[in-house]
Amino acid sequence: MIIKQMLKDRTLTDKERKNLGILEVIRKNGPISRTDISKLTELNIVTVSNYVSHYIKKGLVIEGELDESTGGRKPVLVELNPKAGYIVGVGLNMMSIVAVLVDLEINVISEIKRERAPENSEKVVLQMVDLAAEIIEKAEIDKSKIVGLGVGIPGIIDERGRTIRWPQSLGDKDISVCSSIKDTFEKRLNIPTIVENDANAAVLGEKWLGLDRDVRNMVYMFSGVGCGILINEEIYRGANGAAGELGINSAHATKDYSFKIATQLGRWEMDIGMVRHARERIEKGEPSVLKDLVKGDLAKLTFREIVKGIKEKDAVAIKAAEQAGQDLGKKIAFIVNLLNPEVVVIGGGIEDCGAVLLDSIKNTVKEWAVEEASTQVKIIPSAFGENAVALGVVGIVAREIFAQA
C-alpha cells in the first residue's frame, strides 16, 4: 500500500470523502454486505459496489462469509483486511510516553509505555522517536507494511503541521519545532508522519474509536491547559491553530480578582494545581500520607503521589483533587456555555483521580453553566486513559489512509 504525503485538515475531494465514509463503515461494522454499506453511507449500491471492488483489488478489503438471506442469492460480506497495513502512534502524556502499533482495524498489536524525560523538549522528542523505533523493531509483522506514523504532542500547530510554540511544560523556549519533529521521525524511520496537538488527537480518538456515532459535538479536556474541540465531527482549530489553548499568559497577572479567576490554574499546570495545593496544606501542618510517600521531601511530591493518596483516602490528596475539580469545572462551565457540547471528556492523566475529581467537576459545571447546556452535557472520563493521544493520532493517520485508498 503506497500512501502519499500525509496532509491533515486538507479539503477532501468527493472521491476521498466517499472512500473515508465507506471504509469507516466497513471498519466499524464489518463483516457487512454491500447493501448495508449503501444504507449506512446513503450512497447508491452501484457506487458502493464499484468502490468495494477497487478496495478488494488493492487488498484493502477482503470478502468473507455469506450473509443470511430471506430468499434468493445470499449476499457476500466484506471486511477490512487488517494485515493490509499497520500504523504506529506515539503520544506524550503528563507523566509518560506511549507508543502503540495497530492494524487497519485499529486492533492494538503491541504497546510500550515509558516515563517521560524531564521537561526538556529535545530530550522528550528524541525519547518519542526512540520509543517508536523500539516498537517497530520488536513487532512481529511485515515491517514494510507500516504505512503511517502519528505523533501527538502539546503545542499550537498550524494547518501545515508546524508548531508555532511549545508550551512551557516542554521547555522554556518559544520556537517553531514541529516541522523538525516531523523530519526527525521521517528521516529516522522512513515512514510518512503526521504531527498533531495532543488534545486534538485525543478528542478525535475518543470520538472515532469509542463514543456513539451520533455524538457530533464534544470537547476533550487535556488536564487543565488545553482542550480538543469537535464541532460537527471535525476538529475546530480557529484562525491559526490556537483554538483550545486554555493557559493564560500569567506574565500579565495582577492582583485583580477577575484576572486571578482567569489564571487560577497557572499557565501550564498539567495537574490542575493539585501538587501545589497539597504541598501548601502539608506545609501548614495538615497530616498526610503524601509526606510519607516522598519521605518528607515535599519537593519530590508529584501527581503520582496525589493519585496514590486518593486511593488511600488521604484527606489532603482528596481536598487537592476536589479543589482542582472546582477550578477546572469553572473553565469547563464557560466552554459548555460557549459551545454547548454533547460530551466533555476528562483526560490527559487527571482522570486517574477518579470520582473525587469527576464529581467535583460535575457539581461545579452544574452550578456555573446555564441550565439548558449543563443539564444536557455528559461529563465522562477518557475511555482510553494514557493511550488516548497515541490512539488518537493513529485514528488521524487511518483516516488519511482511507481517504487516499
pLDDT tens, N- to C-terminus, the chain (405 residues): 555 555 555 678 999 999 999 999 999 999 999 999 999 999 999 999 999 999 999 999 999 876 565 555 678 999 999 999 999 999 988 788 999 999 999 999 999 999 887 665 678 888 999 999 999 999 989 999 999 999 998 877 755 554 545 554 444 444 444 457 888 899 999 999 998 989 999 998 898 887 777 889 999 998 877 899 999 988 898 887 788 877 654 444 444 444 344 434 444 467 889 999 999 999 999 999 999 999 999 999 999 999 999 999 999 999 999 999 999 999 999 999 999 999 999 998 899 999 999 999 999 999 999 999 999 999 999 989 889 999 999 999 999 999 998
Q: Are residues 305 and 227 in the same domain?
A: yes
Q: Are residues 175 and 253 in the same domain?
A: no
Q: Any idea which residue has 466517499 for its cell? A: 18
Q: Are residues 357 and 248 in the same domain?
A: yes
Q: Are residues 305 and 334 in the same domain?
A: yes
| Residue at which a domain ends, from 81, 111, 139 | 81
Give domain status of residue 201, yes or no.
Answer: yes
Q: What is the pLDDT of residue 68?
A: 63
Taking a C-beta distance cutoff of 8 angstroms, is the pair 398, 392 a contact? Answer: no
Q: Which three cell numbers stand for residue 74?
A: 445470499
Q: For residue 160, what is the domain's CATH number? A: 3.30.420.40
Mention every residue, 6+ apart, whose C-beta is less than 8 A from residue 264. 273, 327
* E-only strand ranges, 264-313: none
Give domain status of residue 192, yes or no.
Answer: yes
Q: Are residues 148 and 262 in the same domain?
A: no
Q: What is the pLDDT of residue 280?
A: 95
Q: Are residues 188 and 250 in the same domain?
A: no
Q: Are residues 181 and 273 in the same domain?
A: no
Mention every residue, 6+ apart, whose C-beta is less than 8 A from residue 119. 169, 170, 171
Residues of the domain holding 275: 218-382
Mention every residue, 6+ apart, whose C-beta is less than 8 A from residue 95. 115, 116, 302, 303, 304, 349
Q: Are residues 263 and 372 in the same domain?
A: yes
pTM of the model: 0.84
Q: Are residues 195 and 256 in the same domain?
A: no
Q: Are residues 21 and 118 in the same domain?
A: no
Give domain status of residue 373, yes or no.
Answer: yes
Give domain status of residue 315, yes or no.
Answer: yes
Q: Are residues 234 and 264 in the same domain?
A: yes
| Residue at which a domain ends, from 46, 81, 116 | 81
Q: What is the pLDDT of residue 155?
A: 77
3-state SS class at 119: coil
Give how many domains the chain has, as a whole number: 3
Give domain status of residue 90, yes or no.
Answer: yes
Q: What is the pLDDT of residue 267?
A: 42
Question: Distance between alpha carbon 294 and the CA centroid of its chain, in Å?
Answer: 31
Q: Are residues 263 and 342 in the same domain?
A: yes
Q: Of 194, 215, 195, nearest to 206 (Cα)?
A: 215
Question: Rounded to the nearest 10 degrees, what angle do helices 315-339 and 274-283 cross at?
Answer: 150
CA angle 261, 264, 270 (to 5 degrees): 145
